Amino acid sequence: MMNECKHPFQDPIDAIAGGYRACQVLLTANRLGVFAAIGKGKVRVERLVELLETDRRATRILCDALVALALLEKEEDSYRNSPLALEYLLPDSPNPRNGILWHGAKLYERWGKLHDAVKSGKPVPDEAIDPNLVGNEKTFAQAMADIGRTSAGQLAKLLDLSDVKILLDVGGGPGIYAIEFARQNPDLHAVIFDNEKTTPVALENAKQAGVADRVTAKAGDIFRDSIGGEYDFILISNVVHIYSYEQNAELVAKCANALAQGGRLCIKDFLLDPDRTGPAWGALFAVNMLVSTDQGDCHTVEEARCWLESAGLHCDSHMDLTAQSRLLIGKKD
């Protein structure tokens, strides 16, 4: 039976306070493998119980809630994935979100300790998180790939990189941006700089995308190790929110020094308005940095401009890439 998701709350306070319900149903279903177990067919609840090794009553209740959220469809005692689930929630979906949902399950536990983080000013330690959700760099890289696919294509279309021969992607993670840029420009060579646990994922993604001959990786610490030099373009995407204002000033200065004359440095992040209360996505993401990092925060557009100009770069006005992301570009004259 086809179901249309209707928000169960009318009062705005109830809607905010009750948001955990739908969120946890989705995260739990993804973590258990409900959508993958159902696949593209129809599966009876008894078979799901066998595949997932779960309790029958609990499985039926969870799946019925997924039907209410328009993520599954129900026919008697059988379930099938809805069009929405087929689009996003299978490992081979056109736009898979499994990685970011797995990452979200870890973040959910961190956010549950927000009270402690606000009292102490310290992030929630890994010891407070389910060990099955902690420390998997490959899963984190997949989550970042899920996030980056759409905006990478948008950024590649927005920027004119036709004259770029060598590009550095700082904190490039799974390499989604570098790979997309290489696809768009057959003369471009990209270097992805990240930690040693993440760079193998980026190289494998480049191989699968058919650009392994033009996308390489360098593992290291962005503050301590050399990043090379004479780059035509450097991208710092979704990195500055990990660090403090002072750390980012140091990072941007280091990257500016690595630019060739006429090169450009692009900061893309959840940059905030001057009063730091909007866009709402960024204001809430700053809370995510509070529970996850020692000094992370979402910074303002003007703060990012100050880093670029203090590094000797000429900076134009910022651009909105998505409803969440803004970017600033500084040029080395």
Q: What is the pLDDT of residue 4?
A: 64
More confident residue, 290 or 97: 290
Burial class (CB in 10 A: 0-12, 13-18, 19+), 119: exposed
> 98-145: per-residue pLDDT in tens?
988 998 999 999 999 999 999 999 999 999 999 888 766 666 666 676
294: left (phi over 0), alpha (psi -120 to 50) or beta: alpha
Tokens of 179: 């790979």
Residue range 205-245, pLDDT digits in tens: 999 999 999 999 999 999 999 999 999 999 999 999 999 99
Going by pLDDT thresholds of 50, 70 and 90, the confidence category of residue 12 is: very high
Statement: residue 7 has pLDDT above 80: no
User: Do 89 and 15 touch, CB atoms closer than 8 A?
Assistant: no
Q: By the 8 A CB rule, do 137 and 197 touch?
A: yes
Check residues 156 and 289 and name the one with the higher pLDDT: 289
Percentage, residues of the chain above pLDDT 90: 83
Query: Helices then strands (H, E): number in the chain?
Result: 14, 11
Distance CA(327)–CA(237), nearest Å, equals: 9
Relative to beta strand 259-269, strand 231-237 is parallel
Please tell me the predicted confidence (pLDDT) of residue 150: 72
Domains plus CATH for the chain?
Answer: 12-92 (1.10.10.10), 148-275+292-331 (3.40.50.150)
Q: Average pLDDT of 311-321? A: 93
Task: Cis check for the bond before 174: say yes or no (omega within 30 of 0).
Answer: no
Task: Give the per-residue pLDDT at 136.
Answer: 60
> Could you read off the pLDDT of 183-209 as tens digits, one per residue?
999 999 999 999 998 899 999 999 999
CA dihedral 71, 147, 149, 211 (to 10 degrees): -130
- Please choose, from the candidates 133, 76, 146, 131, the residue with its C-alpha nearest in 3D space to the C-alpha of residue 105: 133
Instruction: Give the span between the Cα atoms of 147 and 140, in whole angstroms.
Output: 11
Locate all alpha helices (DSSP H) within 258-294, ordered by sequence: 280-292
Structure tokens, 301: 């557009």
Q: Could you read off the pLDDT of 61-89 as tens digits, one per residue?
A: 999 999 999 999 999 999 999 999 999 99
Task: Give the pLDDT band (50/70/90) at residue 151.
Answer: confident
* Cα separation, 249 vs 226, whole angstroms: 17
For the whole model, what pTM was predicted? 0.91
In contact, 314 and 333? CB cutoff 8 Å: yes
Coil, helix or strand at residue 181: helix
Calculate the alpha carbon distances from 43 to 25, 26, 51 in Å.
19, 18, 10
State which amino acid sits at residue 322: T
